[in-house]
Structure 1
Amino acid sequence: MRKLWLPIASVLLSCALGMGTAQAELPPGYRVVLLTENFPPFNMAVDDKNFARDEAIDGISTDLVREMFKRAGIDYSLSLRFPWDRLYNLTLESPNYGLFSVSRTEARGPLFKWVGPLGKTRKVLMALPGSTIRVPDLAAAAKLRVGAYKNSAVSQMLKDKGVVASEVLRDQENIARLQKNEIDVWATTDVVGRYLAKQQGVSNLQTLLSFQESDLYLALNKDTPDEVVNRLQQALDAMRQEGVVDSITRNYL
């Protein structure tokens, strides 16, 4: 009797362990609608236009997100659109929508479910080479003409600190505004700002002030099943451990 019980116990134990690691089923035909914008080098249209789909989109975050969904076994569609505030509100209001790359701020935290981090950026105030402007802190920036990207994490933080910025719908427009002396400084993120400036033939921008580092995430609508969030986070964690995240990042920087 004891010999019979041992294999039965082994089977029961295996089943119990399997139940602990098994993935929950998602609804038939489940798909995440992924949105992104031109935010190079993290996400961008191959042809630099403001609308693209699927393979016509690349960048650090784009490649990471594709691999995450592949490993997680979750179907998705991907489109790059414009402007940012429309994409943000669509994701906020629409079940099964996701948006990347999004800075995870304290104010945004409870509004979405999050997977990440996908990368890191540093908020900065930049000026053209040779500028004599000095900005020791954000209080000093309040006295300047500051250009920013509408509804971005940078512009939101400036507002919170009492800095009124002149906002535009495309961040790269601020480069021309600097050159035309329409603004004194450009509030942007370090990697993105330098990349955009380089695309327009402008190099050696001066960093006058660095005021916050931010992690970039995939933001998912709050109604997204926890199973989806967990699968994607586990996939990203494994990719980071395997060196895939670093490898993809090096492809663009």
Structure 2
Amino acid sequence: MKQPLLRYPKALVLLFTVLACLSLRTVTAQEIRIVTEELPPYNMTLNGQLTGMSTEVVQAVLKEIGVQASIQSMPWARAYDIALNAENVLIYSILRTPQRELLFKWVGPVAPTHWHLFAKPGSQIQLNSLDDARQYQTATVKQDAGEQYLQSKGFTVGKNLQPSNKYTYNYEKLKSGRVDLWIANELNALYLVRQAGDDPTETLVSALSLPDLGGDNGQNMAFSLKTPDALVERFRQGLQAIRSDGRYAAIAQKWL
């Protein structure tokens, strides 16, 4: 007489393990979507190819865990919306902030970032605290961490925040005098100034450092909430592996 399957717990464990692996393989091979934005030198398109420090870290993790997936670059507000609402979406480089903590499943940091309110040299703007910036017009990027941070402090789009879709537009606004301040992370700001053919020491000055934004663990990889925990954990292990064996340090040395 046949025995009930419940008499064989090892068989059940094996069956569920196989089914979970097959399910995870299907998700990673067919359904995972990776989105990012143009944020040099973290993620950027050069000669038709996505590159940058964060991009290389993500690519190293994909190679480590044996997953193939294409990366799409788009305006940040669109990438952010997709990652908020769609299934199996990985987004980078995303700043991990209190406002975002429960909105994503966090994989881990991919790059450091240090934020400032930048002004033009000779502007006579004196900021001793964030409150001093309320009287000025500040350039932001829609839905990025800088804009969300200032909004959480009581700043308002259309009143003292002037958003754009691209980071390059904000430097142009500051340079032309259409805004008084520009909130940006330091590496991105310096890169854009140099790409415009300018010397950062002559066209940019930090009016106020924002140490509660970013830091060494600032830029992250994160999954949408509608992503299996097993997939998120697989990426976490992959990121830890490239940090442990020196691959992450080699990438950082190349870009920082």
- Note whether the superposition's TM-score is higher than 0.5: yes
1:249 to 221, 242, 252: 252
Q: Secondary structure at the match of 2:233?
A: helix
Pairwise CA distance, 1:31 = 3.8
Corresponding residue for residue 177 of structure 1: 173
Q: How does 1:198-237 map to 2 (within 5 A)?
A: 198-202=194-198, 203-204=200-201, 205-211=204-210, 212-214=212-214, 215-237=218-240
Pairwise CA distance, 1:27 = 4.2
Between the aligned partners of 1:58 and 1:245, the Cα distance in structure 2 is 15
Between the aligned partners of 2:222 and 2:145, the Cα distance in structure 1 is 13
Q: Secondary structure at the match of 2:107?
A: strand
Pairwise CA distance, 1:171 = 1.3
Question: Is residue 120–residue 213 contact of structure 1 (8 Å, CA) maintained in 2?
Answer: no
Between the aligned partners of 1:71 and 1:241, the Cα distance in structure 2 is 12
Pairwise CA distance, 1:108 = 1.0
Between the aligned partners of 2:123 and 2:243, the Cα distance in structure 1 is 40
Seq. identity, %: 31
Q: How does 1:1-253 map to 2 (within 5 A)?
A: 24-25=21-22, 26-28=24-26, 29-47=29-47, 56-81=49-74, 83-163=75-155, 164-202=160-198, 203-204=200-201, 205-211=204-210, 212-214=212-214, 215-253=218-256
Corresponding residue for residue 15 of structure 1: none
**Paired residues, what number?**
226
Pairwise CA distance, 1:249 = 1.4
Q: Which runs of 4+ in 1 moved over 6 A?
A: none
Pairwise CA distance, 1:62 = 0.5
Unmatched runs of 5 consecutive residues or more in structure 2 = 1-16
Between the aligned partners of 2:25 and 2:171, the Cα distance in structure 1 is 46
Between the aligned partners of 2:90 and 2:41, the Cα distance in structure 1 is 19
Question: Is residue 131–residue 206 contact of structure 1 (8 Å, CA) maintained in 2?
Answer: no
Corresponding residue for residue 10 of structure 2: none
Pairwise CA distance, 1:24 = 4.1
Give the letter aligned to residue 241 of structure 1: S
Pairwise CA distance, 1:168 = 1.0
Distance 1:213 1:107, change over 3 A: closer
Give the letter aligned to residue 127 of structure 2: V
Question: Is residue 44–residue 51 contact of structure 2 (8 Å, CA) maintained in 1?
Answer: yes
Pairwise CA distance, 1:247 = 1.0
Between the aligned partners of 2:111 and 2:255, the Cα distance in structure 1 is 12
Post-superposition Cα deviations, 1:181-222, rounded to whole Å, max 9, x if no partner, equal 111111111111111111112221211111133111112111
Give the letter aligned to residue 239 of structure 2: L
Post-superposition Cα deviations, 1:109-142, rounded to whole Å, max 9, x if no partner, equal 1111111111121221011233321111110000
Between the aligned partners of 1:41 and 1:231, the Cα distance in structure 2 is 26
Pairwise CA distance, 1:68 = 0.5
Post-superposition Cα deviations, 1:83-104, rounded to whole Å, max 9, x if no partner, equal 2111111111111111110011
TM-score normalised per structure 2: 0.82
Question: Is residue 31–residue 75 contact of structure 1 (8 Å, CA) maintained in 2?
Answer: no
Between the aligned partners of 1:238 and 1:98, the Cα distance in structure 2 is 18
Give the letter aligned to residue 189 of structure 1: N
Give the letter aligned to residue 136 of structure 2: L
Pairwise CA distance, 1:167 = 0.9
Q: Secondary structure at the match of 2:255?
A: coil
Between the aligned partners of 1:235 and 1:158, the Cα distance in structure 2 is 34
Question: Is residue 80–residue 143 contact of structure 2 (8 Å, CA) maintained in 1?
Answer: no
Give the letter aligned to residue 107 of structure 1: Q
Post-superposition Cα deviations, 1:141-180, rounded to whole Å, max 9, x if no partner, equal 0011211111110011111112231111111111121222
Between the aligned partners of 2:142 and 2:114, the Cα distance in structure 1 is 17
Between the aligned partners of 1:67 and 1:176, the Cα distance in structure 2 is 34
Give the letter aligned to residue 224 of structure 1: T
